[in-house]
């Protein structure tokens, strides 16, 4: 026990004493942390509020209903399921609810900034159990909507994912909606990375254009490591049974008892995200990402060398930086030695493999939570850029 406590303390010091630039990481509030560490971990609650398979869930039902209502209000959806354990199970539940094995799905390529669960072939459930076609980005890392439209009309997928994990640009939900409607495909917005930006008012919401949204509750939303699925008004107009299908796919389709401590923490995070100061936080995330890019550009513009760094982005909270062929992991390791925590990442049209990619992914949510402003991000951008060009 003492060894675990010691390691937790060491990790806490490490997090506080390093510069955290992984876009999917953040720091939760003390209120969220209190909910996570509560006695709610002791309770089994298989089923849904009012329809449990275990007794003794009077207060559990109230907690889950509160999380649901707060989430629906925050994201402006008609129905919300807050039980998925994380983003991948949430997307698995959507596929299970809406499709049959072997149906065709469409998502962004992993190397272009997409997510494994959006149909990455061979090694994921989404690529193994469904036929997958994937769209790409152009030389600037932006979605080629014309090529996407041509592919969708040719391949006629039954479901389309929009959203990604390393996509540094805003997503045009309306164009996606028009493309999906041509083949009557379900349209799913995976907003895991940008959920906090959406509720903070600095990224357009997809709810008027898609059938379903899925999201984690950490990253820019600054909540616990959980997930939710939201069904929109558009989705229910398309299929009045859509909410029931989603719920059945989550439980009993894929999961057993929900993690009630996480659901309570989600309810806390949803309330925090509804406050005016959260909008200020989201706005600062964007300002800081732009400042980080300026710092990188200061180095690459000729002061240290004549060839600029290739930077993809940014219109949201993250950037992808070309470090040179297969140098992304090496750069990430060297930055860690400097106390700067990033992750190696493929760049658009990367000729290197995923274990030795050519880029790194950096973002601003965590250090913005710590109070960083533009000045600090410009400075760390210069440090990163200088290290890359001197390798």
pLDDT of residue 300: 60
For residue 382, indicate whether it is catalytic. no
Q: Which of 216, 262, 346, 364 is catalytic?
A: 216
pLDDT of residue 221: 98
Element (H, E) at 259: none
pLDDT of residue 307: 54
Q: Which of 64, 190, 272, 322 is catalytic?
A: 190
pLDDT of residue 313: 87
For residue 219, indicate whether it is catalytic. yes
pLDDT of residue 214: 98
The residues near 156 (Cβ < 8 Å, ≥ 6 apart) are 104, 183, 185
pLDDT of residue 162: 97
pLDDT of residue 335: 98
CATH code, 277-389: 3.90.1150.10
Q: Compute how many other C-beta atoms are within 10 angstroms of the C-beta atom of residue 123.
A: 10
Q: Phi and psi at residue 229, in whole multiples of 5°?
A: -125, 130
Domain 30-273, CATH class in plain words? alpha beta
For residue 350, indicate whether it is catalytic. no
For residue 225, indicate whether it is catalytic. yes
Half-sphere exposure of 56 (CA within 13 A, CB side): 6
pLDDT of residue 309: 87
pLDDT of residue 204: 98
Q: Hey, what are 97's tokens?
A: 């609810």
Q: Which of 43, 158, 170, 225 is catalytic?
A: 225
pLDDT of residue 1: 72
> What distance in Å separates the CA atoms of residue 145 and residue 301, rounded to the nearest whole number?
31
pTM of the model: 0.96
CA-nearest of 111, 164, 141 to 355 is 111
Do 30-273 and 277-389 have matching folds? no
Question: Domain-by-domain residue ranges, the chain?
Answer: 30-273, 277-389
Residues of the chain scoring pLDDT < 50: 303-304, 306
């Amino acid at each position: 026990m003492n060894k675990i406590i010691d390691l937790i303390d060491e990790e806490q010091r490490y997090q506080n004493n390093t510069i955290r630039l992984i876009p999917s990481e953040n720091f939760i509030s003390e209120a969220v942390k209190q909910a996570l560490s509560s006695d709610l971990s002791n309770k089994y609650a298989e089923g849904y509020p009012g329809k449990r398979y275990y007794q003794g869930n009077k207060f559990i039902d109230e907690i889950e209903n509160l999380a649901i209502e707060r989430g629906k209000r925050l994201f402006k959806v008609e129905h919300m399921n807050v039980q998925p354990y994380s983003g991948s199970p949430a997307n698995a539940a959507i596929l299970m609810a809406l499709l049959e094995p072997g149906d065709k799905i469409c998502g962004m390529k992993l190397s272009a900034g997409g997510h494994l669960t959006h149909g990455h072939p061979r090694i994921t459930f989404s690529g193994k159990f469904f036929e997958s076609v994937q769209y790409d980005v152009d030389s600037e890392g932006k979605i080629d909507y014309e090529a996407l439209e041509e592919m969708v009309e040719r391949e006629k997928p039954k479901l389309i994912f929009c959203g990604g994990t390393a996509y540094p640009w805003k997503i045009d939900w309306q164009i996606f909606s028009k493309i999906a409607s041509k083949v009557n495909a379900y349209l799913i917005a995976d907003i895991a990375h940008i959920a906090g930006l959406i509720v903070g008012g600095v990224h357009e919401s997809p709810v008027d254009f898609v059938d379903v949204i899925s999201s984690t509750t950490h990253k820019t939303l600054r909540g616990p490591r959980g997930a939710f699925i939201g069904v929109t008004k558009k989705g229910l107009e398309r299929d009045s049974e859509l909410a029931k299908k989603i719920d059945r796919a989550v439980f009993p389709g894929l999961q057993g008892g929900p993690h009630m401590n996480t659901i309570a923490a989600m309810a806390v995070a949803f309330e925090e995200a509804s406050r005016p100061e959260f909008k200020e936080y989201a706005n600062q995330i964007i300002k800081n990402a732009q400042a980080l890019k300026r710092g990188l550009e200061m180095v690459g513009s000729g002061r240290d060398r004549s060839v600029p760094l290739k930077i993809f982005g940014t219109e949201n909270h993250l950037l992808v930086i070309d470090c040179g062929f297969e140098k992304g992991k090496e750069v990430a390791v060297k930055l860690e030695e400097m106390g700067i925590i990033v992750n190696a990442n493929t760049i658009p049209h990367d000729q290197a493999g995923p274990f030795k990619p050519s880029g790194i992914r950096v973002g601003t949510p965590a250090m913005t939570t710590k109070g960083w402003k533009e000045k600090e991000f410009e400075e760390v951008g210069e440090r990163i850029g200088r290290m890359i060009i001197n390798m």
